[in-house]
Amino acid sequence: MSITLKINGETRTLDADPESPLLWALRDELGMTGTKFGCGIASCGACTVHWDGVPIRSCQTFVGDLEGAEITTIEGVDGKAATAVQAAWNELDVPQCGYCQSGQIMAATALLSETPKPTDEDIDAAMDGNVCRCATYARIRKAIHLAADKMEG
């Protein structure tokens, strides 16, 4: 089955099993490995990408449903919020093992795009689906607040 969609602004054609999760199409068919495999059941958020700007779990999003979709991955995420988030992540040395951080950054970017000045409760609500087994959560929280400051400034 052939599906045409936009990934990071580029039109791509996927010739893949419609039942294949977007995650594996990105990683194995397109060679974009920034989006990570963590659980396969949408419980950890490591595979988070944006569909029309909305954070989704690519392990539970299927190729057959994506005709015409606009997908953004960690490789292509851009704009004011993403730039601020990545800068804050670097400034505070957020990552440890780093494996979840693509997903964390995609989720945080989506949050700040919608809510430029999030409260701790907003952060909990937006980020609770993104697991970090190194438990870098205290820094993720700080970095989101720092990114919000950067976006203002």
Partner 1 sequence: MLHLLQKPLEAAKPTRRTFLKISAGTVGGLVLAMNLPRGAEAAAGDGELIQPFVHIRPDNTVVVLSKHLDKGQGTATGLTTLVADELDASWEQVSAEHAPSNPQVYANTLFGVQGTGGSTAMANSFMQYRQAGAAAKAMIVAAAAQEWGVPAEEITVSNGVVSHSSGQSATLGDLAGLAAQQDVPAEPTLKTPDQWVYIGKSFPRVDVKNKTVGAPGTYTMDFQRDDLLVAVVARSPRFGGKLKSFDAAEAMKVPGVVNVLQIPNGVAVVAASTWPAIKARDLLEIEWDDSEAETRSSDAMMAELKDMTGKPGVKVREDGDVDAALEASDRVIEADFEFPFLAHGAMEPLDAALLYDGETAELWLGSQIQTIDHNVAATILEVPFEKVKINTMWAGGSFGRRAQADSHPVAEVAFLAKAMLAAGMDPAPIKIVWTREDDMAGGYYRPMSAHKIKVGLDADNSVTAFKYNIAAKSIVKGTPFEAMLMKDGVDHNMTEGAHDTTYAFPLMNMDQSFQETKVPVLWWRSVGHTHTAYVMETMVDRIAKEAGKDPVAYRLEMIKDDPRKVEVLKLAAEKAGWDTPAPEGRHRGVAVHKSFGSYVAEVAEISFRDDGTVKVEKVVAAVDCGTPINPDNIRAQVEGGIGYGLGAILRNQVTLADGVVEETNFDTYEPIRISDMPEIEVHIVASNEAPTGIGEPGTPPIGPAVANAIAAAKDDWVTNLPLTKAGLV
Nearer to partner 1, 54 or 97 (CB): 97
Asked whether 48 and 39 are in contact (CB, 8 A), the reply is no
Burial label for 13, CB within 10 Å (0-12, 13-18, 19+), is: exposed
- Residue 7, Cβ neighbours under 10 Å: how many? 22
CA distance 153 to 148: 9
Span near partner 1 by CB under 8 A; candidates 4-12, 27-35, 50-58, 110-118:
27-35
Q: How far is the CB of 116 from partner 1 (least distance, A)?
A: 19
Tokens linked to 35:
């989006």
Among 71, 84, 127, 148, binds partner 1 (CB under 8 A): 127
CA–centroid distance for 41 within its chain? 16
- Among 2-10, 36-44, 50-58, 111-119, the segment contacting partner 1 (CB under 8 A): 36-44
Nearer to partner 1, 58 or 113 (CB): 58
Q: Tell me how far, at minimum, the Cβ of 70 lies from partner 1, in Å.
A: 18
Q: Say how far apart CA 34 and CA 18 lie, in whole Å.
A: 22
Residues that bind partner 1 (CB under 8 A): 17, 19-21, 24-25, 27-29, 31-41, 43-44, 46, 73-75, 86, 89-90, 93-102, 105, 123-124, 127-141
